[in-house]
Amino acid sequence: MIRLKQAVKIERPIHEVFRYTADFENVEQWDPGVSASRKLTPGPIGVGTEYSVVVKSGPWRIPMRYVVKEFTPPARVVLEGTGKRITAIDSITFEERAGGTEVTYVADLTFSGLLASSENWMRGSLDRVGREAVAGLESALSGGMYIQRAEGIRIVK
């Protein structure tokens, strides 16, 4: 298993940061390792909400299904992603700080098959992807304009 952990302070209120980040349909806006994300279940976001996510890895596109496992507004959201040879547990916590919100993103990645034997080789590139994702989240929430949707917030630059 590989654990990625990054934290960032974002100068926005906790409820805005949570609402945007917890809606995993937005992940393609801020995570450069994701090429597409679509909410599959109707209704408001909560435990059981499912997303179809396409992860980029070099020239490959890896389809994954993410399910919200824990949803505690505005403090925490946990999603479990499964793909052909990967399982990801993404835990995102939010803490109110003076002038904004601290977001801590932890991703536990477990590989199977040939990928399991390549974990040490992949660790450096996955650390970089994790740093870029959190930097992308900070960038998305620091600039742009919020677009209110029926179920959440999108950001348009």
> 2-145 maps to which CATH number?
3.30.530.20
Q: Do the beta carbons of residue 78 and residue 72 sit within 8 Å?
A: no
pLDDT at 149: 46
pLDDT at 139: 87
pLDDT at 125: 63
pLDDT at 145: 43
For residue 145, the tally of other CB atoms under 10 A from its CB is 8
- pLDDT tens, the chain, 157 aa long: 888 899 999 999 999 999 999 999 999 999 988 999 999 999 999 999 999 999 987 788 999 999 999 999 999 999 999 999 889 999 999 999 999 999 999 999 898 865 555 655 555 566 676 778 888 888 888 875 444 444 555 554 4
pLDDT at 7: 92
Of 37, 2, 12, which is closest to residue 137 (Cα–Cα)?
A: 12
The rounded distance, in Å, linking the Cα atoms of 67 and 56 is: 19
pLDDT at 98: 94
pTM over 0.95: no
pLDDT at 119: 55
Give the start-end residues of each E strand in the chain: 2-10, 34-39, 50-57, 60-72, 76-82, 86-97, 100-111, 145-148, 153-156
Amino acid in position 65: R
Q: Give the residue carrying structure tokens 């793909």.
A: 83
Of 88, 81, 79, 21, which is closest to residue 53 (Cα–Cα)?
A: 81
